[in-house]
């Protein structure tokens, strides 16, 4: 762990949903004033992944991930994966994702979600990039697939974690990072906050998932990266550590996972 980091990293934000480049510039500036000086912008389909790649070129503090969300898995084929591969060749694309499984909304079939996830997992292995995983109501299936995939470099994160302590423990043994978003601050999220105790400091990441999941007391408002410190405060309090220590640890973890240069 480094001696000090004086900034936070928002490891998951959908910056392309914030409107014009000027709107995004304002969001990034406001985040910087709140101490959030690096943001990983997330692609969730081919079009948004291309937009994210563009944002990484325009904004020094923005890095990116290219991938297909499980909601959009129907119709994903080799050509789609090849195009994600092409986008991922941009120098500041640091991850594949978000991909994964969502058996709650079921906007795509289980078979297509699994196929798309496996293909993107293999792509992340081939390219040596981190894998950003979405999982909702599918943790047993996800864990089985991860065992089968054998990611090798073990550079993957479960973003916006929503599973159980047992899920977290098993994923940690496989090398996962566990990322907590604004829902960890919700008043009805005691069980999720209890998971925080199970995750070693060297495996925690923090994110906003903005514009979604604004933390308490902003729940229901439009979220943005500047609110990340509120999430960090909740996690630091639960682990009974100084906020500066959490900042240093989570920023180190983000550097390790995403291989920031």
pLDDT in tens, 156-208: 999 999 999 999 999 999 999 999 999 999 999 999 999 999 999 999 999 99
**What is the mean predicted confidence (pLDDT) over 102-115?**
97
Measured in whole angstroms, the distance separating CA 131 from the mean position of its chain's CA atoms is: 9
The answer to whether residue 51 is domain-embedded is yes
The domain of 176 spans: 8-258
Report the domain count for the chain.
1
* CATH number assigned to the domain comprising residue 65: 3.20.20.140
The answer to whether residue 63 is domain-embedded is yes
The answer to whether residue 3 is domain-embedded is no
H helix intervals, the chain: 21-33, 46-58, 78-88, 110-127, 139-149, 165-173, 190-196, 228-239, 243-258
The answer to whether residue 2 is domain-embedded is no
Q: What is the C-alpha to C-alpha distance for residues 141 and 152, in angstroms, rounded to an integer?
A: 19
The answer to whether residue 237 is domain-embedded is yes
**What is the mean predicted confidence (pLDDT) over 42-50?**
98
Neighbours of 252 (CB within 10 A): 16
1 pLDDT above the threshold of 80 = no
pLDDT of amino acid 153: 60
% the chain with pLDDT above 70: 97
The answer to whether residue 150 is domain-embedded is yes
Mean pLDDT estimate for the chain: 96
The predicted-structure confidence for 8-30, as pLDDT tens digits, reads as follows 999 999 999 999 999 999 999 99
**What is the mean predicted confidence (pLDDT) over 59-77?**
97
The answer to whether residue 1 is domain-embedded is no
pLDDT of amino acid 261: 67
The answer to whether residue 57 is domain-embedded is yes
pLDDT of amino acid 150: 82
């Amino acid at each position: 762990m480094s001696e000090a980091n004086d900034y936070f990293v928002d490891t998951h934000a959908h910056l392309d949903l914030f409107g014009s480049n000027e709107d995004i510039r304002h969001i990034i500036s406001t985040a910087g004033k709140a101490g959030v000086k690096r943001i990983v912008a997330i692609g969730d389909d081919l079009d948004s992944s291309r937009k994210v790649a563009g944002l990484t070129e325009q904004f020094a503090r923005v890095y990116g991930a290219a991938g297909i969300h499980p909601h959009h898995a129907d119709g994903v084929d080799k050509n789609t994966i090849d195009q994600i591969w092409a986008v991922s060749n941009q120098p500041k694309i640091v991850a594949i994702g978000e991909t994964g499984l969502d058996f709650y909304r079921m906007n795509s079939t289980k078979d297509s979600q699994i196929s798309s996830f496996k293909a993107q997992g293999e792509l992340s292995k081939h390219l040596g990039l981190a894998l950003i995983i979405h999982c909702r109501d599918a943790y047993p299936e996800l864990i089985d697939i991860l065992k089968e995939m054998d990611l090798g470099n073990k550079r993957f994160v479960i973003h916006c974690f929503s599973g159980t302590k047992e899920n977290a423990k098993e994923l940690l043994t496989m090398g996962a990072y566990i990322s907590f978003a604004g829902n960890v601050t919700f008043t009805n999220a005691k069980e999720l906050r209890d998971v925080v105790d199970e995750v070693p400091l060297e495996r925690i990441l923090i994110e906003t998932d903005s514009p979604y999941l604004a933390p308490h007391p902003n729940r229901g408002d439009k979220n943005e990266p500047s609110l990340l410190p509120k999430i960090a405060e909740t996690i630091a309090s639960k682990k009974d550590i100084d906020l500066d220590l959490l900042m240093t640890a989570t920023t180190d973890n983000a550097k390790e996972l995403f291989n920031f240069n």
